[in-house]
Structure 1
Amino acid sequence: MDRQDIRNYPPRQDSVPKARRHSAWLAVAWGRPELAADAALLTSELTTNALLHGSVWDRYFRVEVKLTGAVLRIEVTDPKGERHPEPRAAVTDYDQFGRGLHIVKALAETWGCTDRVIGKTVWAELAHGR
């Protein structure tokens, strides 16, 4: 059975843990508890990037979680389409930035970015059999 959930979040720091917890909860509720931890981490990384690089103070960002066949897909849509995500290296061991997309690449079967009329959607997919 295919499932889908869409939530909008304000561009605030407290939206990241809310979205993370909700994605993990959905994975469990939809019968895929083995994906909950990875779904939470992917959601956290993608929503943090949306907040840091794609947010506009008065525009919400959207988190969409889909279960289709053997794939759990997490999509985060933000209003800034001019900045596409690119993995970069952390400068030092203490650098707070530069690791998020490397985590996404390591966890996801595949990930990418889709342009929209306004903004962009960054997505990542987990397969059930991982």
Structure 2
Amino acid sequence: MTEQHAFSSKVLQEDCLDYTPFLSSVTLARRRAARLVSEWGHPDIAGDVALVVSELAGNALLHGRVLGQLFRVQLILTAAAVRIEVGDACGERRPEVRNPAQDEKFGRGMVIVDALATRWGVVPRTVGKTVWAEIDLR
């Protein structure tokens, strides 16, 4: 799924943080997401949110990295869903769900996102892109 989803629900909680383009930042973003979603009252989906953040942040690091530019992770809680947004400075490389060979070490991130998220997409920016995913609250 790559079309923009209209996101117009009332925001209940929000968090936004820029990260340096290092592997350790993916771990920090994942842990922060799990903690925040649990604190916001949804520990049942904290693991799924953390995994989606990890995959999208990893993609930003591997495929969206531009020298000297940070990547941004934003979490938004509404009454209906948690929205994860990861922005990077490289708009040319858009994520897609692939079917990697069994011996390939990479290429499964968006398969995981597609399986966990209710919907996801990409929003182009003047510089770069934002990849978003939403997980409906159960």
TM-score, scaled relative to structure 1: 0.95
Q: Name which of 38, 42, 51 aligns with 2:48.
A: 38
* Aligned-residue offset at 1:94: 3.1
- Runs (4 or more) in structure 1 with deviation over 3 Å come to none
Residue deviations 1:40-83 (CA, integer Å, cap 9, x gap): 10000000000000011210000000001111000000001111
Matching of residue 107 in structure 1 with residue 116 in structure 2? yes
Matching of residue 117 in structure 1 with residue 133 in structure 2? no
Residue deviations 1:60-114 (CA, integer Å, cap 9, x gap): 00000000111100000000111111121212x2321111101000000000000
2:107 is matched with: 98
- For residues 50 and 62 of structure 1, what CA distance do their matches in structure 2 show? 9
Q: Name which of 22, 34, 51 aligns with 1:12.
A: 22
Describe the SS at the equivalent of 1:81.
coil
Describe the SS at the equivalent of 1:21.
helix
- Consecutive unaligned residues in structure 2, runs of 5 or more: 1-10
- Consecutive unaligned residues in structure 1, runs of 5 or more: none
* Aligned-residue offset at 1:19: 0.3
Counterpart AA for 1:51 = L
- For residues 96 and 18 of structure 1, what CA distance do their matches in structure 2 show? 23
Greater displacement, 1-10 / 99-108 = 1-10
Describe the SS at the equivalent of 2:49.
helix
Describe the SS at the equivalent of 1:58.
coil
Aligned length: 128
C-alpha RMSD of matched pairs (Å): 1.0
Counterpart AA for 1:106 = A
- For residues 67 and 28 of structure 2, what CA distance do their matches in structure 1 show? 18
